[in-house]
Chain A
Amino acid sequence: GNSVTQMEGPVTLSEEAFLTINCTYTATGYPSLFWYVQYPGEGLQLLLKATKADDKGSNKGFEATYRKETTSFHLEKGSVQVSDSAVYFCALTSPDTGRRALTFGSGTRLQVQP
């Protein structure tokens, strides 16, 4: 079956530090890959996505590249801000018949200190 593995948190960084959150996956076929972010007290919102191998998704200074050879989709940001403090979820959808469900990783909490 499909699965997503994320690095465990919490990740604590100082403002302007470099961020990497690792994500690897197992899936049949050619999945689409997503990063969702959950700010405190809110629902999830899409941060970025990539739908085929070697695609790079980017948004708000965050980037992730779809690496089929290593089955990875690591999230990076060059300089984090306090406002980036949230829980980040790596997720995938695979072209299983009829289902559009997201398979999520367990989430990584990021805490950015001033």
Chain B
Amino acid sequence: NAGVTQTPKFQVLKTGQSMTLQCAQDMNHEYMSWYRQDPGMGLRLIHYSVGAGITDQGEVPNGYNVSRSTTEDFPLRLLSAAPSQTSVYFCASSYSRTAGKETQYFGPGTRLLVL
């Protein structure tokens, strides 16, 4: 089991460029989510998915798009990068879509710098 994998590990973008952050899990988890981590602010939810074909917005969705065509993959797209999107991005997954008591498993993160 590779768990939750993310690529790339580090990326530098210029303002206005677009890119996709990849996230995959091999645990057959239904629930997947994206967070961003900024200094002194903990992690904040960007988007989440409770299953293939189902996505919804989190706390800070502006400037990001997601889709979920398979159970395994949950890519995060930046349409037009801005310096405010400089952050560390974490993907997470968990098995059950119920109750919120289950453990969430995090990927190693993608560090993004927007110039």
Q: Residues of A with Cβ closer than 8 Å to B? A: 4, 31-32, 36, 42-46, 49, 51, 89, 91, 93-95, 98-102, 104-107
Q: A98 CA to B51 CA in the complex, in Å? A: 11
> At the interface with chain A, which of B13-21, B35-43, B70-78, B79-87?
B35-43
Contact A43 B45 (CB under 8 A): no
Interface size of B in residues (CB-CB distance below 8 Å): 30
Contact B106 A43 (CB under 8 A): yes
Task: Across the interface, name the chain A residue whose C-beta is closest to B32.
Answer: A100
B103 — which chain A residues lie within 8 A by C-beta?
Answer: 46, 49
Contact A89 B43 (CB under 8 A): yes
A interface secondary structure, majority: loop
Nearest 5 pairs of A and B residues by beta carbon:
A93-B100, A104-B42, A43-B106, A44-B106, A101-B45
Contact A106 B58 (CB under 8 A): no
B92 — which chain A residues lie within 8 A by C-beta?
Answer: 44, 102
A-B contact pairs, 9 of them (CB 8 A): A32-B100, A36-B106, A43-B90, A44-B92, A46-B104, A95-B100, A102-B92, A104-B43, A107-B42
